[in-house]
Structure 1
Amino acid sequence: MTQRKQVVITAIGMVTAVGDTAAQTFDALSAGRCGVNWHPDGGIGRKVGYVRADVAAGLHPAQVRMMDRVTLMAHHAAGEALAHAGLDDTQKAACGVFVGTGIGGVLTLCEAVEAYHGVTPKRSVLVVPATMPNAPAAHIAQQLKTQAEAQTYTTACSAGAVAIGEAFRRIRDGYLDVAIAGGTEAMLTPIIMAAWNQLHVLCADPPDGDEGSCRPFSLRRTGFALAEGAAMLVLESAEHAAARNAVPIAEICGYGVSNDGTHPLRPDSDGQALAMSRCLADGGLSPGDVGYINAHATGTLVGDRIETAAIKRVFGPHARDLPVSSIKGAIGHAIGAAGAIEAAVTAMAVSRGIVPPTLFFEPGDDQCDLDYVPATARSLPSLNLALSNSFGMGGNNTTLAIRRLA
């Protein structure tokens, strides 16, 4: 059997509701800032995590004509990551591309249907290349001029984490030396908001803005705030990074996936626990090694309880001493991009020894009784290993283990 390679993260790009870059996002999360607010389009009618950055900046109009906002987000985040990575042309040509998205170019699709029926004016856009789910991966591959594989994953809310995990496996097992992997999502439109409303999972917006809309693990939580954004990570074998004098941010050392096999919407604690356990086993890790969990925790009544139960099952008594936080109160739930954004934030947390807080936390749910890092970021200078959980509708569960490098 071929010896497994060590896989490191050497660059991160992000665009979220609280920052145009990875550093801006992490600093805002650490400062406890919230980006969930009213969208400029009054037809959306709810507070959401929308991106304020000009994600089309620097692109030729002919390029933009073929790109949905979901691809523009991915292109923006990939551009930042690649600029920091400093790959040369030969390395770019051998760089794999792995992208997760929940739905792809749905904004263009909605606009095209409305234009067809005369509801809105026609816009100069090429609908098919803009809406195909693999468009973000294809455009990043073109940025790189790569001849390596370019793959797309659509596993709902776990898609970004799956993309990172699959890229990790390719490098660990010797198929690639370098890859860019992450997730992207952009579905903030009245039509899609109406579709989400059917499921009764979106949070209520309190009149007092200080209370927050999305409140993971809290007694009076009512659901999640829909969001958009993207995160892209450059992954390399440790040898490849060392050969070009790249300075790693952190190491990915475990990846676990499972499927609930129970219900298309309701999560299952057995499946979630299995993903975490498989991740630990994959990395040769024990529960006691873990010092922090970045939770999936969307703010739904059932989901947060089930994840808490799964954590207790895997970690036993150690769960009581384990900091667990969710960033969805700050940026909302970016569906297919969520797992990638959270993995990126987890890597930065491990690297910096600071974990972001769970905003707007209110105790009182006796089934959510762990240490949720309420209100303010926590300094954990001895943090060595963290998990990032991502659980998707349809039953896909994904956990990534991220370790600090000495």
Structure 2
Amino acid sequence: MKHRRVVVTGLGLTTPVGLSTQAAFDALMAGQCGIKDHPRLALGRRVGHIDADLTFGEHPMQVRQMDRTTLLARHAATQALGQADLTAGQQTRTGVFYGTGIGGVSTFTEAIEAFHHLTPKRPILAVPATMPNAAAALIAQTLKSMAEAQTYATACSAGAVAIGEAFRRLRDGYLDVAIAGGAESILIPSIIAAWEQLRVLSPDPADPDTGNCRPFSRRRAGFALSEGAAMMVLETLSHALARGATPIAEICGYGVSNDGTHPLRPDHIGQALAMQRCLDDAGLVPAQVGYINAHATGTHVGDRIETLAIKQVFGAHARSLPVSSIKGAVGHMIGAAGAVEAAVTALSVQQGLIAPTLFHEAGDPDCDLDYVPGQARRVPTLSVAISNSFGMGGNNAVLAFRKFV
């Protein structure tokens, strides 16, 4: 069966540097950083918090059933659907594909603490709020969708996997339109303490100008936890053009792999395999790729492994290939990270702008590529870019985007 072309016709971003798609993208290009002290919680470290009332205009009974992760997903989905402007009939045929690393863990933790009288009880229905598929179900109900609503929990690659699986459904003829992405919110003391056990969180710097997360840098020391969401409306090109929609970018490839080696330590062979599978899926050769939005969390091992994987796939082209990470600006959103970074990559090919790697400090001989340090880079000729997402447990997902002309 002939593969169908798939395009992005709506984007929604909810991030610590911007509550709308263009606001977040503009802030990233301006080099803004959203890693700050939480305004209400004493977390002992700076995080990527979204300071907004996500329940505004919602009935209290509905709010009782929603974890903050679901509220973030809904906020991003509302933006994406608004831009795509699907009819009611088209919405009922829209598939929903959603990724999250942990789901409604904040509500779950709160319910346990309340049960043990450690915190006051709050009027919330914990079971529907904590279900990992809660956000997908809510979005599907909003659309009155009779298609499918799927949830993926592949750690830090979950949002990218959701987008990739939606892409496959459209490309292979199962659907004509879908909304896909991811969300995460885990900024509570007990969950942060659990992450501290893994020794992957960066210590708060004495000088905020040095940044909490410094991807690919000589003195990188881990990442800052963050919350956020991104959703995108995908359509077959024929469906989009038939209804007069304007494509933002084309999604042209998707590659996945599993390291099969270690629950925590990444492996360059598995990462390289996902990148190569993405290129093969898109019918691309390495020289055609003009930018990589890296997973790059700012951990010592992770950034070195990803650099090695890029060199393995791209060979000599890696030396002239811009590679940047937005985690210095927005932190690590876990299950939402791949979706947010995919959305930024789609906008990069549309607008010919590459986000900088904030707080980058050269000097590591194992991280010696062009990491777009400090300032955004305008590349009017940018036509193809890939977005890397590598999850704990070894799940790797890579998406390729092409400029739509």
Q: How far, CA to CA, are the matches of 1:60 and 1:232 in structure 2?
A: 23
Offset, 1:56: 1.5
Q: How does 1:225-244 map to 2 (within 5 A)?
A: 225-244=224-243
Does the alignment pair 1:302 with 2:301?
yes
Query: Equivalent residue for 1:213?
Result: 212
Query: Equivalent residue for 1:276?
Result: 275
Matched residue of 1:276: which SS?
Answer: helix
Q: RMSD of the alignment, in Å?
A: 0.6
Contact persistence 1:255–1:283 (CA under 8 A): yes
Does the alignment pair 1:381 with 2:394?
no
Q: How far, CA to CA, are the matches of 1:126 and 1:214 in structure 2?
A: 36
Matched residue of 2:97: which SS?
Answer: strand
| Identical columns (%) | 67
Q: How does 1:136-151 map to 2 (within 5 A)?
A: 136-151=135-150
Q: String of CA shifts for 1:355-404, please: whole Å, max 9, x gaps.
A: 00000000000000000000000000000000000000010000000000
Instruction: For 1:341, give the aligned amino acid.
Output: V
Q: How does 1:177-256 map to 2 (within 5 A)?
A: 177-256=176-255
Contact persistence 1:98–1:151 (CA under 8 A): yes
Q: How does 1:303-318 map to 2 (within 5 A)?
A: 303-318=302-317
Offset, 1:89: 0.6
Q: How far, CA to CA, are the matches of 1:85 and 1:108 in structure 2?
A: 32
Does the alignment pair 1:125 with 2:137?
no
Does the alignment pair 1:260 with 2:259?
yes
Offset, 1:199: 0.2
Offset, 1:281: 0.4
Query: Equivalent residue for 2:65?
Result: 66
Matched residue of 2:150: which SS?
Answer: strand
Q: String of CA shifts for 1:141-196, please: whole Å, max 9, x gaps.
A: 01101010000000000000000000000000000000000000000000000000
Q: How far, CA to CA, are the matches of 1:118 and 1:325 in structure 2?
A: 46
Q: Could you tell which deviates more after superposition, 50-59 or 254-263?
A: 50-59
Instruction: For 2:228, give the aligned amino acid.
Output: G
Instruction: For 1:84, give the aligned amino acid.
Output: Q
Q: String of CA shifts for 1:40-88, please: whole Å, max 9, x gaps.
A: 2443111111111222222111110100000000000000111111000
Does the alignment pair 1:171 with 2:152?
no
Instruction: For 1:370, give the aligned amino acid.
Output: L
Instruction: For 1:178, give the aligned amino acid.
Output: V
Matched residue of 1:36: which SS?
Answer: coil
Q: String of CA shifts for 1:12-55, please: whole Å, max 9, x gaps.
A: 00100100011111000000000001112443111111111222
Query: Equivalent residue for 2:350?
Result: 351
Query: Equivalent residue for 1:158?
Result: 157
Query: Equivalent residue for 1:285?
Result: 284
Offset, 1:100: 0.2
Q: How far, CA to CA, are the matches of 1:173 and 1:269 in structure 2?
A: 30
Offset, 1:209: 1.0
Instruction: For 2:276, give the aligned amino acid.
Output: S
Contact persistence 1:290–1:386 (CA under 8 A): yes
Q: String of CA shifts for 1:245-286, please: whole Å, max 9, x gaps.
A: 000000000000000000000000000000000000001110
Q: How far, CA to CA, are the matches of 2:86 and 2:47 in structure 1?
A: 35
In the superposition, the TM-score normalised over structure 1's length comes to 0.99
Q: How far, CA to CA, are the matches of 2:359 and 2:80 in structure 1?
A: 31
Contact persistence 1:325–1:356 (CA under 8 A): yes
Offset, 1:207: 1.2
Matched residue of 1:251: which SS?
Answer: strand
Offset, 1:322: 0.1
Matched residue of 1:231: which SS?
Answer: strand
Q: How far, CA to CA, are the matches of 2:5 and 2:54 in structure 1?
A: 33
Instruction: For 1:21, give the aligned amino acid.
Output: S
Q: Could you tell which deviates more after superposition, 88-97 or 34-43?
A: 34-43
Contact persistence 1:81–1:232 (CA under 8 A): yes
Contact persistence 1:15–1:53 (CA under 8 A): no
Instruction: For 2:371, give the aligned amino acid.
Output: Y
Matched residue of 2:54: which SS?
Answer: coil
Matched residue of 1:194: which SS?
Answer: helix
Query: Equivalent residue for 2:22?
Result: 23
Offset, 1:137: 0.2
Q: How does 1:362-377 map to 2 (within 5 A)?
A: 362-377=361-376
Q: How far, CA to CA, are the matches of 2:234 and 2:243 in structure 1?
A: 13
Contact persistence 1:100–1:336 (CA under 8 A): yes
Matched residue of 1:118: which SS?
Answer: coil
Query: Equivalent residue for 1:105?
Result: 104
Does the alignment pair 1:115 with 2:108?
no
Query: Equivalent residue for 2:11?
Result: 12
Query: Equivalent residue for 1:404?
Result: 403
Matched residue of 2:121: which SS?
Answer: coil
Instruction: For 2:215, give the aligned amino acid.
Output: P
For these two proteins, the number of residue pairs brought into alignment is: 405
Instruction: For 1:191, give the aligned amino acid.
Output: S
In the superposition, the TM-score normalised over structure 2's length comes to 0.99
Contact persistence 1:183–1:232 (CA under 8 A): yes
Q: Could you tell which deviates more after superposition, 204-213 or 159-168?
A: 204-213
Matched residue of 1:38: which SS?
Answer: coil
Matched residue of 2:225: which SS?
Answer: coil
Give 5+ residue unaligned stretches, structure 1.
Answer: none
Q: How far, CA to CA, are the matches of 1:92 and 1:23 in structure 2?
A: 24
Matched residue of 2:47: which SS?
Answer: strand
Q: Could you tell which deviates more after superposition, 379-388 or 36-45?
A: 36-45
Matched residue of 1:47: which SS?
Answer: coil
Query: Equivalent residue for 1:91?
Result: 90
Query: Equivalent residue for 2:359?
Result: 360
